[in-house]
């Protein structure tokens, strides 16, 4: 694309952002079992009183993206309205045997694995239709996963805002500082989506990044 066309496109994007009526679309991303749906449920429950989806200790519980429109978050005297998209966990491999190890029979495990692959495809497709991403990481796990690297790279390539959430800090083995050291170029908030720990700071950061 030529330089002039790029200038035109950027000016057009800024113009659209200034006068758009739609809410910013924010995707909640991360590897399976990082706590994406727990966080989505907390946001939606705190600001609308509803829930978003079911939560399970078995990976790939969320196999369809769920969208909740017009969630208004009020913090520090200002308010922002967001569309929240809870996406299925991203992965580069899915083996049905892992579901069998959780006690499912073979047929159910294969069906579940198939749905999980479809969920990953849906999550990848959503990346192209977002205004920003909340990337949820399990603070008890190694943050240098390919999923994290790929999501962060895609946001950086599109110059879109990203907020990293170091989740599960209620657990003794959590190490949010490892996540901060891994991706120092992006803002990070440490929370427990399950217990609500530090959730007010998360909302303030959310408003700052996506408002």
- Residue 91 in the binding site for another protein (CB under 8 A): yes
Which two structure tokens, joined as six digits, stand for 202? 């998360």
Closer to another protein by Cβ: residue 91 or 188: 91
Phi and psi at 70, nearest 5°, equal 65, 45
Q: Residue 70 contacts by C-beta under 8 Å, 6 or more apart in sequence?
A: 23, 81, 82, 83
- Residue 54 in the binding site for another protein (CB under 8 A): no
Closer to another protein by Cβ: residue 136 or 162: 162
- Residue 153 in the binding site for another protein (CB under 8 A): yes
- Footprint of another protein on residues 175-194 (CB under 8 A)? 182-183, 185
Closer to another protein by Cβ: residue 17 or 45: 17
- Residue 126 in the binding site for another protein (CB under 8 A): no
- Residue 110 in the binding site for another protein (CB under 8 A): yes
Q: Distance (Å, rounded) from C-alpha 187 to C-alpha 171?
A: 22
- Residue 17 in the binding site for another protein (CB under 8 A): no
User: Which secondary structure element, helix H or strand E, spans residue 5, and what is its range?
Assistant: helix 3-19
Q: Distance (Å, rounded) from C-alpha 205 to C-alpha 65?
A: 24
Q: Residue 22 contacts by C-beta under 8 Å, 6 or more apart in sequence?
A: 83
Q: Distance (Å, rounded) from C-alpha 185 to C-alpha 202?
A: 18
- Residue 172 in the binding site for another protein (CB under 8 A): no
Closer to another protein by Cβ: residue 121 or 171: 121
Which two structure tokens, joined as six digits, stand for 95? 């083996």
Which neighbouring-strand residues pair with 68? Answer: 84
- Residue 78 in the binding site for another protein (CB under 8 A): no
- Residue 93 in the binding site for another protein (CB under 8 A): yes
Residues that bind another protein in the complex, under the rule CB under 8 A: 3, 6-7, 10, 90-96, 110, 113, 117-118, 120-121, 124-125, 127, 142, 144, 146, 149-150, 152-154, 156-159, 182-183, 185
């Amino acid at each position: 694309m030529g330089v002039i066309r790029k200038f035109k496109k950027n000016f057009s994007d800024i113009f659209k952002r200034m006068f758009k009526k739609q809410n910013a679309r924010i995707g909640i991303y991360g590897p399976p079992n990082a706590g994406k749906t727990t966080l989505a449920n907390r946001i939606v429950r705190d600001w609308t009183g509803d829930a978003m989806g079911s939560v399970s200790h078995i990976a790939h519980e969320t196999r369809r993206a769920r969208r909740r429109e017009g969630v208004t978050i009020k913090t520090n005297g200002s308010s922002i309205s967001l569309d929240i998209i809870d996406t299925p966990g991203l992965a580069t491999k899915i083996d049905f045997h892992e579901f069998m190890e959780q006690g499912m029979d073979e047929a159910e495990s294969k069906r579940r694995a198939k749905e999980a692959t479809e969920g990953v495809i849906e999550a990848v497709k959503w990346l192209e239709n977002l205004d920003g991403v909340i990337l949820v990481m399990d603070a008890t796990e190694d943050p240098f996963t390919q999923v994290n690297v790929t999501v962060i790279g895609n946001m950086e390539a599109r110059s879109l805002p990203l907020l990293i959430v170091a989740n599960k800090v209620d657990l003794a083995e959590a190490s949010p500082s490892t996540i901060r050291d891994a991706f120092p170029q992006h803002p990070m908030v440490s929370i427990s989506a399950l217990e609500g720990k530090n959730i007010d700071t998360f909302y303030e950061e959310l408003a700052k990044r996506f408002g």
